Amino acid sequence: MTNNILRSKGFTLVEILIAVFIISLLAGVISVSIKKVHIKSDNTARLQQMEEYQNAVFFMVRDNGGPAGLASWDDVWCIGVYPSGKCSFFNVTNWGNTDNSPGGLNDHLKVYLPSLPTLKPFKSSAGKTWNGPMYGCGNYDGTTWVSAPSNTVPPCTPMLKYALEGDNQECGFPEAVADDAYSGVTYCILPVPYF
């Protein structure tokens, strides 16, 4: 009888290991869910800021009678201010440089959006840092946005380029098109027609 009383007071090693396994399994499932919710919330914030940028660019382009601040098709400028001077990892000349010069793109936009929001940066699974949106020109060929040869001068359709964290994300606007694919990133192009 003494053996039965002592035995009922504790758990066996197998019972403890099963409990630890179940708890770790649940923790793994919950952490994946929390990461997905975090990404979804960050992307929703980015899309809200992109809507502000879209409206500001629309009014800027409309009031200027065409795409402002673009010398050629090769010009793609960052919107906002970034410590590195670039809003994406691209190292192409005029791609993703910040135009903070007096009378530059950011000055034009501040008339319509006094406080240029800076999007929260994130790193793709390939280790590339994505900071904020870019403004440029392009033409839609029915399936994707394309640039004309570099010697072509606008008029063209102004567009905003931005990135969302995660593969195959919705670009958030009916007229937006998912463009280049990068590991862990959905790269979107949003046209801003003004005519």
| 117, pLDDT greater than 70 | yes
d(CA 172, CA 158): 18
| 149, pLDDT greater than 60 | no
Domain range for 100 is 14-191
Any domain includes 6:
no
Any domain includes 73:
yes
pTM of the predicted structure, to 2 decimals: 0.72
Average of pLDDT values for 112-131?
Answer: 76
Give 39-68 pLDDT, tens digit per residue: 899 889 889 888 888 888 888 888 877 766
- Domain count of the chain? 1
Any domain includes 7:
no
pLDDT at res. 168 = 85
d(CA 191, CA 135): 10
Backbone angles phi, psi at 65, to 5 degrees: 75, 20
Backbone angles phi, psi at 60, to 5 degrees: -60, -45
Q: Which residues contact 158 (CB under 8 A, 6 or more apart)?
A: 57, 61, 67, 135, 136, 137, 191, 192, 194
Q: How confident is residue 184, by pLDDT bands cut at 50, 70 and 90? A: confident
d(CA 131, CA 120): 6
Q: How confident is residue 180, by pLDDT bands cut at 50, 70 and 90? A: low
d(CA 9, CA 127): 52
Any domain includes 1:
no
Q: Helices (DSSP H) in the chain: which residue ranges? A: 2-7, 13-64, 105-110
Any domain includes 8:
no
Q: How confident is residue 23, by pLDDT bands cut at 50, 70 and 90? A: very high
Any domain includes 131:
yes
The amino acid occupying position 23 is: I
Report the range of poorest mean pLDDT among 87-101, 132-146, 156-170: 87-101
Any domain includes 23:
yes
Any domain includes 42:
yes
Q: Three-state DSSP class for 95?
A: strand
